[in-house]
Amino acid sequence: MTFTGKEILNLGFEEGKEVALAIEIANTLLDTQDEEVVNIALKRVLEKPESFMEDRKWAALANQLIEKNNVDPVIELNETPVDLEIFGQEHIEQGALDQIHVASKLPVAKSAALMPDAHQGYGLPIGGVLATDNAIIPYAVGVDIGCRMCLSIYEIDPEIIEEKEAMLSKMLNRNTAFGRQTVKNRKDHEVLHNDLFSEIPLIKGLKEKAASQIGSSGGGNHFVEFGIVEIKTLSTELGLEPGSYLALLSHSGSRGLGATIANHYTKLAMQETKLPDEAKHLAWLDLNTELGQEYWLAMNLAGDYASACHHQIHERMSIGLRTRPAVMVENHHNFAWKELDHEGKEVIVHRKGATPAGEGVLGVIPGSMTAPGYIVRGKGDPRSIASASHGAGRTMSRTKAKNTLDHEEVNKFLADRGVKVIGSGLDEAPMAYKDIDAVMACQQDLVDVLGSFHPKIVRMCGDKGFFEVD
């Protein structure tokens, strides 16, 4: 008689390395032992492998069974999703819709929403909002933790943009740095002296990088730009009379600090929380654990750091303009907040590429290089989990934009609209983005518009040599 895989499986073994091991060991023992004795031994090893770890004959099989048994089981998704609201579904690609549906079935999910600028990302889609029960999902926060918009409005006649375009362009070139660049004569900031830089080993190793990148911006769609703010009616929140104003708008996040934090804790979350393949990037950390609290602290530090970078950029520009801004509006996305749901229970609200829009909360929703952005006031709509879009959203991937758009046509498009662009590439061309006004029309219940911002001199990272000026 010879043991086969079928006979081993009939004993209760599961498919895997242990079946091959069991066949090999059992057939070797048949030379000296009866079939029934080997059968009984196989069953005992399967039932209690820890008793055979030192047994010369069965140790290899016992250890393989123990190793398999120690693997955390996969946590299944719920069959029924939580409440999910989708705004502007006609503007959203299928991949993003699929991702938010998966997220809405997480066992820790309480409610979900998708904004009209949404497109596919990793884990939670860009434009996705997810409320969870005492759980934090690093990839639902995103890699660029605390990425934000910051708008400074100056009581300066915007005609200065045409009259002193060369001066303003030079200010942008000299006082901004993107991608791998660092700011010359960088300044210290209190955020770099946060106690976490000495308390958490990972953060401690990132202090030098954070100090070297302070006051700079990331690559991709990050920008610093001069433009014109238009206020149509008296705004109590802004404290500005109706009219046109010079303004500076910036968009960037937490640089290498945030990216390293995100990748480190995402890996740990995926080790702690095993999920099906379609949901594996939505692995969470329990906020009642030390690891969950550690990520929460690190995330908030990255958010503070991102804000500090913006404030230093705006401070340098204010010095160049020789005035202080009349008002500053700042909001962030790629973050998680502790908030109360409609039942008054605390939830963790993840906004990955979505703007906080609680009642009375101010924010900025940008368009593109040539399309206006909007200063908004949130209405606190519970259907959107008090959120709104964080921009127009992409309608064309970066690769598709680079492969299909023409430099000359894009340059003409910009010139026709009176926009000067410094250091960008085809992947950020206006045609790669959705119609911001169509996106705004889908969220009239979520925000009120207080004013608009029109880009005029745009500084980005992008492809070296394209749209470059001295």
3 state DSSP class of 232:
coil
- Provide the 8-state DSSP code for 370: S
The whole-angstrom separation of Cα 226 and Cα 181 is 21
Q: Which of 429, 439, 371 is nearest to 227 (CA)?
A: 371
Exposure string of 122-131, with b = 16+ CB inside 10 Å and e = fewer, is bbbbbbbbbb
| Residue 55 to residue 65: CA distance in whole angstroms | 14
Contact 262, 139 (CB under 8 A): yes
DSSP 468: -
Residue 106's closest CA among 255, 273, 251?
A: 273
Q: How many CB atoms lie within 10 A of CB 411?
A: 14
Query: Can you tell me which residue has the tokens 């500076």?
Result: 248
CB-neighbour burial class of residue 190 (10 A; exposed 0-12, middle 13-18, buried 19+): exposed
Contact 249, 455 (CB under 8 A): yes
Three-state secondary-structure class, residue 388: strand
Longest dimension (CA), the chain: 99
Catalytic residue IDs: 390
